[in-house]
Chains A and B, each alone.
Chain A
Amino acid sequence: MSIFYFVAFLSIFFALMTIFTKNPVHSVLYLVITFFTFTVHYILLNAQFLAVVNFIVYMGAIMVLFLFVLMLLNLNKDTEPMKSTIVKIMGTVAGMCLLVTFLGAFRVIEVNNEAITPHANIGLVKNLGQVLFKDFLLPFELSSILLLTAMVGAVLLAKKDTNKA
């Protein structure tokens, strides 16, 4: 339990640092660390697969993409547009509303939900694979069509028109 509180503290701390730091590159780096603490949370929750995916995909791939985009756009302190006060107030109000909603939701949540207890080991890769290839085989196969469609489209949109030049 003490590990959890320590990691939770780190998550909140780095999440706040993500918002408060002025330099966008630092901000993204803090976000990477925040995601890393999430990975630790997933391991604590016995969700190995999620932990691995979070580590590789979010921390590894997506965050690196973020960094690349930031560097390509050359967003530093000087070019960052100043937000007007009204936008800031709106953001604060919306954020606080979300917080209240979450607190309300957590208040009614049951810790011993019968939905979760019988599947304590569902997060292990082996069990997940069995569910994926037994119960959810059809959606799993059909998602290949989804990926193929996206791939065809990406090539189509990104390809140069050769004979138009």
Chain B
Amino acid sequence: MGAIITLSLLAILVLYLGLYNAKGALLPVTIAGLLLALGFEISLWNTDATPLYNGMVLFDHLALSFSSLCIIVTILIVLLSKEYFKAISDNVAEYYSLILFSVTGALLVCSYHNFAMLFIGIEIMSVALYILVGIRKRDLVSNEASLKYFIMGAFSTGFLLFGITLMYGATVTFDLEGLKQYVIANPQGISPLFYAGILLILVGLCFKIGAAPFHFWTPDVYEGAPILITSYMSTVVKVASFAGFLRLFSTVLVPLNDFWTPVLLTICIITLFVGNISALMQSSFKRMLAYSSIAHAGYMLFAIVSLGADSASGIFTYATAYSLASVTAFGILIIVKRKVGSEQFESFNGLAKTNPLLALLLTIAMLSLAGIPLTAGFIGKFMMFNAVMQDYHIILLVLAAINAVVGVFYYLRVVVNMYFRTQEENSKVLIPLNYQLVFFIAAALTLLIGVYPDFLIQLN
């Protein structure tokens, strides 16, 4: 709870800093506050988790680990933002404040124990993002993305709410513990309302994680949003939504898996194919990353399809690997775009000659996304495939392996562009210090998890 209070107050403090024109203090204060929140999360690690405030929130290991991941990724993204926001808007303070509000929402989604909290968390997270996506007011693409995201998001929230209502109608409670008791107490006579509620909640959550066939907003929104906001959306928001997804299914809906496994399996397979095959077709690096984030949502759904004791650590490892690689990829895209002015694959031509270090870092990120051994992405994929194998979903496994191969192809395309294509103009770009710091942290963690994954897996 300390972290949530800290972040809410921090966001308001940042607004006041903006009011008094203390522009230099914004970034340090934001990062200090985020670190403080991270400290609160870690300090709760060894305490007994009981639902607090009439069963509204629960800070168990699942909540704490995913919340910490959200905060750490936010710190990395905020570090990248130093010069970035000033270039696109005058209202830098509001930027930071909205991101902080959004993280607050993400933490609520990670630690909810009552549907009321899930709803409020998702709304806080999304409302801040609707605005951040459209922050470039003069840019039509950005406006379109914002409007699209807003309408789709509001629509999906409608589904989520309707699902929650139906479940309440069947069980007379919003509390996860109460819902669990209901499912256990009535193994045969579960109300049809409850099943309808499951399906509607599934639709609402799949919108948020961007799984097919509810992914149509993803590419346009990711492309229209400022790059840093895109990286925030594809990492923190996805991580938090998956934590919410996992908590609902692992506490309440495990006994009903005969009902929802086929549905989720179908969603999973469609998501993999749509994400990977569309990513293959793209000529823009940013759009490719958008589609690849859909594909990764598909892989992460594996852990929920074959729900078990390892699901939490599997999703956590995968999400960590994916977030680190994404932040690196988007950060490098910012630098390249600043130099070349385009987001196409061709703008990466010859990067290995001019900036060997940058090329190496991007290669590590791409290898991790593709799931090559010795990177964190491999460990994540391995755990997901392992979970599916133990549940004997052989068809899913075969299809996923095919998709992984497709993935390797389009991730390595940018590597080929960097190393084997040349560009006429050969000027070296200077990488700002904060970017270097973030890239090195991300790359080091990626390799560290890839070589020695145990410390992360044991967390959950």
Contact = CB atoms under 8 A, between A and B. Distances in A.
Nearest to B8: A145
Contact of B101 (A134, A138, A149): A149
B127 A138 contact: no
A163 B101 contact: no
Nearest to B97: A152
Which of A108, A145, A156 is the most central at the interface, judged by chain B CB atoms within 10 Å of its CB?
A145
Interface residues of B, number: 33
B313 interface: no
Interface stretch (B114-122, B263-271, B275-283): B114-122
Nearest to A114: B172
A137 B105 CA distance: 17
Given A156-B94, A156-B131, A163-B90, A145 B101 contact: yes
Contacts of A152: 15, 94, 97-98, 101, 131
A118 B272 CA distance: 48
Interface string A141-165: 0110110111011001100010110
B126 to A, nearest CB: 10
Contacts of B127: 146, 149-150, 153
B131 A138 contact: no
Interface string B191-223: 010000000000000000000000000000000
Given A153-B127, A156-B131, A138 B54 contact: yes
B100 to A, nearest CB: 10
Contacts of B94: 152, 156
B404 interface: no
B397 to A, nearest CB: 37
Interface string A85-116: 00000000000000000000000100000010
A139 interface: yes
B124 A157 contact: no
Contact of A139 (B12, B120, B130, B172): B120
Contacts of A149: 98, 101-102, 124, 127-128, 131
B57 interface: yes
A138 B90 contact: no
A161 B138 CA distance: 10
A142 B124 contact: yes
A135 B51 CA distance: 13
A138 B53 contact: yes
Chain B interface helix/strand/loop/mixed: helix
B137 A161 contact: yes
B432 interface: no
Contact of B135 (A115, A137, A143, A156): A156
Contact of B131 (A115, A142, A157, A161): A157
A150 B98 CA distance: 9
A156 B134 CA distance: 10
Contacts of B97: 152
Contacts of A142: 108, 117, 120, 124
B56 A138 contact: yes
A136 interface: yes
Contacts of B101: 145, 148-149, 152
Contacts, number: 67
A60 to B, nearest CB: 22
Contacts of A148: 12, 101
A156 B137 CA distance: 10
Chain A interface helix/strand/loop/mixed: helix
Interface string B71-99: 00000000000000000001100100110
B235 interface: no
Contacts of A115: 169, 172
Contacts of A139: 56, 114, 116-117, 120
A153 B192 CA distance: 40
Nearest to A115: B172
Contacts of B144: none
B191 to A, nearest CB: 9
A153 B98 contact: yes
B97 to A, nearest CB: 6
Which of A136, A142, A157 is the most central at the interface, judged by chain B CB atoms within 10 Å of its CB?
A142
A149 B11 CA distance: 10
Contact of A157 (B8, B123, B134): B134
Contacts of B53: 137-138
Nearest to A108: B192
A39 B57 CA distance: 35
Contacts of A153: 98, 127-128, 130-131
A148 B120 CA distance: 13
Nearest to B135: A156
B98 A146 contact: no
B104 interface: yes
B196 to A, nearest CB: 9
A108 to B, nearest CB: 7
Contacts of B114: 139
A146 B120 CA distance: 7
B124 A156 contact: no
Contact of B120 (A134, A143, A161, A163): A143
Contacts of B57: 138
Nearest to A149: B101
Interface string B296-331: 000000000000000000000000000000000000
A157 B15 contact: no
10 contacts: A115-B169, A138-B53, A138-B56, A142-B124, A143-B120, A145-B104, A150-B127, A152-B15, A153-B98, A156-B135
Q: Which 3 pairs, one residue from A and one from B, show the smallest C-beta to C-beta distance?
A: A153-B131, A139-B116, A138-B53
Given A145-B104, A149-B127, A156-B135, 10 more contacts: A115-B172, A137-B53, A139-B114, A148-B101, A149-B128, A152-B94, A153-B127, A156-B131, A161-B137, A163-B90
